[in-house]
Structure 1
Amino acid sequence: MSAEQPDLTAGDDEDYPDPSPEELGVGALFAEAPEPFHDLLAPAPEELDDLLPLMPQRTAAPQTWVVSIADAKYHWYDLVAGFPEIPDIRDPVGRHLRRMQFDLEATSEKRLIYFVVNRPRVRFDAARSTSWGFFSLKLTIPLLVGTEEKRDSLTIELQVPFAATLKKPTVVLTDRFITLNWGGLIEALSIHDVLQQYENSLTFQSKVQYVGQTKDPLGRLARARLTPVQRIHQNNSEDNDMLLLIQRMNVEVMSDDGDPAELEVNQNPVATDMLLKDRIDVIECALIRYFEGPEMHGRSDKEADIRKQRLREVQATNNLVEFRIDLRLEDAGKYDDLFSRHVPVSRSHIIDCRIVDGEVLVTPVASV
Structure 2
Amino acid sequence: MSSDDAAELALPRSSAPQVWDATVSETSFYWYDLINDPKVPDFHDPIGRYQRRMQFALDATMEKRLMFMLVARPRLRFDPKRSTSWGFFSLKLTIPILIGGEERKSTITVELKTPFEATFKKPLIQLYDKYMTLNWGSMTETFTIHDLMQRHDTGLHYPSKVQYVGQTRDPAGRLAKGRLMAVSNLCDTNAPEYDTLLLVQNFNVAVDTEAKEFAEQASQRSQMDVLEAALIRYFEGADARSPQEHRLRRERLRSLHEAYMIDRLTVDLGFKEANDFYDLESAEVEKSRRHLFACSFTEGLVAVERLPEQGRPLVSLDA
Q: How does the TM-score come out when normalised to structure 2?
A: 0.92
Q: Which among 233, 252, 261 is matched to residue 289 of structure 1?
A: 233
Does the 8 A contact of 1:179 with 1:189 survive in 2? yes
Query: Percent same amino acid among aligned pairs?
Result: 44
Distance 1:341 1:172 in 2: 38
What is the match of residue 316 of structure 2?
Answer: none
Look up the equivalent residue of 1:197 and give its one-letter code. R
Displacement of 1:200 in angstroms is: 1.3
Does the 8 A contact of 1:56 with 1:275 survive in 2? no
Q: Which has the higher strand share?
A: 2
CA deviations 1:134-172 (Å, max 9, x no partner) are 111111111111122111111111111111111111111
Query: Is it true that 1:60 corresponds to 2:4 in the alignment?
Result: no
Displacement of 1:57 in angstroms is: 5.4
What is the match of residue 207 of structure 1?
Answer: 161
Q: Which has the higher helix share?
A: 1
CA deviations 1:213-263 (Å, max 9, x no partner) are 1111100000001010011111111211000000001100111234x6xx3
What is the match of residue 304 of structure 2?
Answer: 362
Displacement of 1:125 in angstroms is: 1.0
Q: Which among 16, 19, 32 is matched to residue 77 of structure 1?
A: 32
**Aligned with 2:195: secondary structure?**
strand
Displacement of 1:85 in angstroms is: 2.2
Q: CA RMSD in A?
A: 2.0
Look up the equivalent residue of 2:271 and give its one-letter code. L
Distance 1:248 1:153 in 2: 34
What is the match of residue 133 of structure 2?
Answer: 179
Gaps of 5+ in 1: 1-38
**Aligned with 1:110: secondary structure?**
coil
Displacement of 1:211 in angstroms is: 0.5
What is the match of residue 10 of structure 1?
Answer: none
Does the 8 A contact of 1:64 with 1:322 survive in 2? yes
Structure 1 residues 29-48: aligned runs within 5 Å: 48=6
Does the 8 A contact of 1:81 with 1:230 survive in 2? no
What is the match of residue 163 of structure 1?
Answer: 117
CA deviations 1:15-46 (Å, max 9, x no partner) are xxxxxxxxxxxxxxxxxxxxxxxx9xx95xxx
Displacement of 1:366 in angstroms is: 2.8
Distance 1:129 1:104 in 2: 33
Query: Is it true that 1:337 corresponds to 2:291 in the alignment?
Result: no
Does the 8 A contact of 2:66 with 2:224 survive in 1? yes
Distance 2:74 2:12 in 1: 48
Q: Which among 283, 303, 306 is matched to residue 248 of structure 2?
A: 306
**Aligned with 2:219: secondary structure?**
helix
**Aligned with 1:315: secondary structure?**
helix
Displacement of 1:91 in angstroms is: 0.9
Distance 2:104 2:77 in 1: 10
Structure 1 residues 1-368: aligned runs within 5 Å: 48=6, 58-81=13-36, 84-258=38-212, 263=214, 275-296=219-240, 299-368=241-310
**Aligned with 2:35: secondary structure?**
helix
Displacement of 1:81 in angstroms is: 4.7
Look up the equivalent residue of 1:196 and give its one-letter code. Q
Runs of 4+ off more than 2 Å? 54-59
Q: How does the TM-score come out when normalised to structure 1?
A: 0.80
Look up the equivalent residue of 2:278 and give its one-letter code. D
Look up the equivalent residue of 1:71 and give its one-letter code. E
